[in-house]
Each structure stands twice: as C-alpha cells, then as structure tokens.
Amino acid sequence: MMRHLGNVDSTNRVLSDLAKEGLPEGQIILADHQSSGRGRLDRDWIDTPGSSVLMSVLLRPTFPAEYFFLITSAMSLAALRVLESKFSIRCKLKWPNDVMVDDKKIAGVLAEAAFEGGRSSWVVVGIGLNCRQSEEELAGVGRGATSVFAESGKLLGSKERIDLAAEIVSEFAVLYLSLTGQEGRISVAGLYRQSCDTIGSLVRVEMSGETLIGVATDISVEGNLLVETDSCMKAVPAGDVIHLRKTS
C-alpha cells in the first residue's frame, strides 16, 4: 500500500518508525518534499517541493542478511529499467547505489536495516529520483546531477510522479521477490554487474582515513567493490567512488 504525504523530514525515518510498530512488509511512503533527506555517507538529499520521486519501501526479508546489499541493487536496477523504457533515458549504475546518466546522478538509493536478537527485523529501502529540476537548478546543487526533465524534456505533474513511483515499485517487487532463492540472487547480482559502469573503470575510492586509486575489477559475492591497486587487490565495503576514466 502506498501512502502519499506532503512534507516529511525523511521517508526512510517515517517508515522506520512505523516498522517498529509492526507494520507489515510492502508498505510504501511517497513524499512531495523531504526537509532532512539523507543519502549515503550522511550526505543531505536536497530537493524542492514536488520536484522528485521521494519514496521508501518497508521490507521484512527472509533471506540471509549477507545478501541485503542486493536490495539496493534491485532498487537501482528497477529505476534504471523504468527510466530507459518510459523516457528512453540511457542509464548506468555507479557502485554501490547511484543511477547515472553519463557522469551525472539522476537517482540514489539508501537502505537501512534493523536487527533484533541477531536476526533481521526489517529493512527500509529509499530512493530519491530527480524529476522536474531544470539544468539551471541542477547547476546550483554543486555536484554533477541531472533529472528526467533535463534528459527527456518531459515535465512531470503530481499524478505522473506518483505513476512513475508505482512503476518503479512494480519493477522492484519482481527483483526483490527473486532474492529469496540462490538462483534469483545470482541473477540480480549478474544484472547489476552488467549495468555497473564502475566495473572496468580507473577509480579513486575515498574511505575513512584512506584513499585508494586503482581499477575496479569486479564486485564480490558480499557486495564489496574489488579494486586492483599497484600493490594488491582490495575489497572495499563502503566508500566514495570517483570515476577517473574507463580502462580499455
């Protein structure tokens, strides 16, 4: 069930609070504006009212927590597929959770999990997708960004944004349900690799207290980015990745 709200501090926060009250899997919060939207690495997600799809989905996975990273992969893939089929916007994925058009970010995904007694209680996965922002507005963000309007010329109204959110959820549901089986997890991981532009790129990875430069060669079964440096192969569980260039 999708619940459409006006202004909230964070759709992930609202849904996390409801999850603690025992809300069942499949509940969705869609908002017109977030006053304290969050991305990875505690970054703010900045939007103006009515400009974006801001949505979170409550999940109660039954598969092992070691595969939860595939939930963000599934949401990223769902957004990519809908953007390409609905607007002919050619997208690539940037590890671990960004949807990109060339070198500009059009959407980001953030998943948060809660555990009780060593077992998963719930997962909330959120997505922020730029829709109505003009090139002038995007230039003021200060980071490379784009939107549905900037890429396709289509200025989505409120109903169209709701429909877009519903299409992404529908695509995500198919991928998410497949994660209950090993074959499905292998399939989603493979689809993510095929669409991930980070693999094969020379990258700089900025982590807490360390910066790596090397070629991103693959993504491990745990979801870590494998980076081959001059001295060794490093498995990166989390970090800020900057693409330097694509290797031949």
Structure tokens at 83: 């953007």
Is 100 found in the same domain as 64? Answer: yes
Is 233 found in the same domain as 142? Answer: no
Domain of 241, CATH number, reads: 2.30.30.100
**pTM value surpassing 0.85:** yes
What is the number of domains present in the chain?
2
Distance CA 188, CA 25 (A): 20
Is 207 found in the same domain as 189? Answer: no
Residue where a domain stops, chosen among 154, 173, 195: 195
Of the chain, the end-to-end C-alpha distance in Å amounts to 46
Is 226 found in the same domain as 119? Answer: no
CB 158 within 8 A of CB 50: yes
Reduce the DSSP state of residue 188 to 3 states and report it. Answer: helix
Residue where a domain stops, chosen among 195, 214, 232: 195
- Domain interval for residue 216: 201-246
CB 58 within 8 A of CB 23: yes
Domain of 81, CATH number, reads: 3.30.930.10
Is 177 found in the same domain as 223? Answer: no
User: Which amino acid appears at position 86 of this protein?
Assistant: K
Reduce the DSSP state of residue 163 to 3 states and report it. Answer: helix
Is 207 found in the same domain as 188? Answer: no
Q: What is the dihedral of CA 25, 31, 34, 40, to 10 degrees?
A: 40
Is 9 found in the same domain as 120? Answer: yes
Is 230 found in the same domain as 189? Answer: no
Is 218 found in the same domain as 125? Answer: no
CB 128 within 8 A of CB 39: yes
Is 185 found in the same domain as 241? Answer: no
Is 211 found in the same domain as 186? Answer: no
User: What's the confidence (pLDDT) of residue 142?
Assistant: 60
Q: Which tens digits make up the pLDDT trace of 44-65? A: 455 688 899 999 999 999 999 9
CB 3 within 8 A of CB 28: yes
Is 222 found in the same domain as 183? Answer: no
Residue where a domain stops, chosen among 195, 216, 237: 195
Q: How is residue 62 annotated by DSSP? A: -
Task: Render each residue's pLDDT in the chain as its tens digit; 248 residues.
Answer: 899 999 999 999 999 999 989 899 999 999 999 886 554 444 545 568 889 999 999 999 999 999 999 999 999 999 999 999 999 999 999 999 999 999 999 999 999 999 876 667 899 999 999 999 998 888 876 668 999 999 999 999 999 999 999 999 999 999 999 999 999 999 999 999 999 999 999 999 998 888 999 999 999 988 999 999 998 999 998 888 999 987 76
CB 172 within 8 A of CB 57: yes
